[in-house]
Structure 1
């Protein structure tokens, strides 16, 4: 367990599950939960015993997004800036650690909650999960979610999803990379399968692949290939050293 009752931390066999636990508030991301979850992801990334991180939610869904009751109380620039910094840090955190992070999405994932899921390396959704960015319906510019949605979906799909505020099912989603399960199938078994697959590879190689994906995304091809060439050489030499040591 974490020190905050909004977040459950569960460890088993190198897998760390971080479970949003505010079901009475639809797992809305208030300041305390944002801070606890950011620190928990960071800690998981630094813990050598952790191989894979899973983000999930209790109750009826993953997360309804930012806590609107809390944001409605923000009245000055300092508070607004602090809130934005906390949320930005959270949305950057899954991609910022070298461990693979899987989002297990059921029920609903809306606004910043959906952006958090999309920030993960693997997103597993039940077919009927309701997804979307309803901020525009509340006269709110969904600023902090835009970069991640554009990165995942591309500018045309991102603009359509963000500006219209539609709620759609995972089966209707046009976002590349979502793992959408057949109707009636729970997300948990597929997440277990994906976790086992990732945990079955050497942790340092999984971390290297994640770092390369992060570096290559948005980089020009020449820079990405320079990095790939360097990693290729380092990996080959590391394997050669290991082979010689095993033969001695």
Structure 2
């Protein structure tokens, strides 16, 4: 199974389970996450969800094979947009427990969580410009809201990948574990599950509304879709597959 679902006492754990692909978020896996969260939203026994990845990585980006030949028209009609929206609409506290790589779409998924817990091995980045693209699920906007304009520009424009301590220092993540992220995420989930669920949902709703009114999410998505038709995007993905530096021509 690409997504493992475990019920705990008052909370649930979702584990991205494509370890051979470093848990890369293909459309099927993203749909499974959205569907699972939809069902857990209606489950009164579940008050909190922890989202993590199998075998040492959170999610090392989107599935490049799905993006390689996608056009801007296909991007505009992409079912992934509905899946991302469903994940963001999950009304209960969502904790991302991040070990290893959380890159591109994987980092965007973690940024949609309400609390991010990083393990010592966590490495975070939005390296889409390496492929002639930009973040397509609001990652640049949410990163800027957390870390500020200068740091968001630095990460998005250069494709820099940062370590766990830097992410905490920059205000991107709430907690840093000396070991695996689950070591801190699980007791945190249990603590939240014991708190007033209606109050937690109301707090989450208000905080997200206040944050996202100021974000240019639609503009960022439109720019991502337009880039899907460019020659630079095709060159970026070819270079990624060939393990060489891309030769971008601005076309």
Per the TM superposition, whether the score is higher than 0.5 is yes
Please tell me whether residue 107 in structure 1 is matched to residue 100 in structure 2.
yes
Distance 1:95 1:143, change over 3 A: closer
Gaps of 5+ in 2: 215-251
* Aligned equivalent of 2:113: 120
The structure 1 segments of at least 4 consecutive aligned residues displaced by more than 4 Å after TM superposition are none
**What is the CA-CA distance between 1:6 and the residue it aligns to?**
1.0
Shift of 1:180: 4.4
Tell me the distance in 2 between the aligned counterparts of 1:198 and 1:122: 11
Which residue number in structure 1 is paired with residue 204 of structure 2?
Answer: 210
How far apart are the structure 1 equivalents of 2:170 and 2:112? 13
Question: Aligned residue for 1:223?
Answer: none
1:81-230 correspondence to structure 2 within 5 Å: 81-83=76-78, 85-86=79-80, 88-144=81-137, 145-173=139-167, 174-181=169-176, 183=178, 185-217=179-211
Aligned CA distance change for structure 1 residues 94 and 151 (closer, same or farther; 3 Å):
farther
State how many pairs are aligned: 212
| 1:40 lines up with 2:36 in the alignment | yes
Q: TM-score, normalised by structure 2?
A: 0.77
C-alpha separation in 2, matches of 1:138 and 1:215: 32
Q: How far apart in 1 are the matches of 2:88 and 2:75?
A: 24
Equivalent of 1:63 in 59, 64, 67: 59
1:63-113 CA distance string (max 9 Å, x none): 011100121132x44432233x41x33444444222100001001100110
Whose Rg is larger?
1
TM-score by length of 1: 0.78
Deviation at 1:114, TM superposition (A): 0.6
For residue 19 of structure 1, the aligned residue among 6, 15, 19 is 15
Hey, which of these two has a bigger chunk of helix by percent?
1
Of the two structures, which has the highest relative contact order with CA contacts closer than 8 Å and spacing of 6 or more? 2
CA deviation map 1:150-173 (0-9, x unaligned): 233232221111111011211122
CA spacing shift, 1:138–1:216, aligned 2, 3 Å: closer
Alignment correspondent of 2:229? none
Give the Å deviation of 1:11.
Answer: 0.8
**How many Å separate the matches in 1 of 2:48 and 2:60?**
24
Over aligned residues, Cα RMSD in angstroms?
2.0
Q: In structure 2, what is the Cα distance between the partners aligned to 1:8 and 1:162?
A: 31
Q: Which runs of 5+ in 1 are unaligned?
A: 221-248
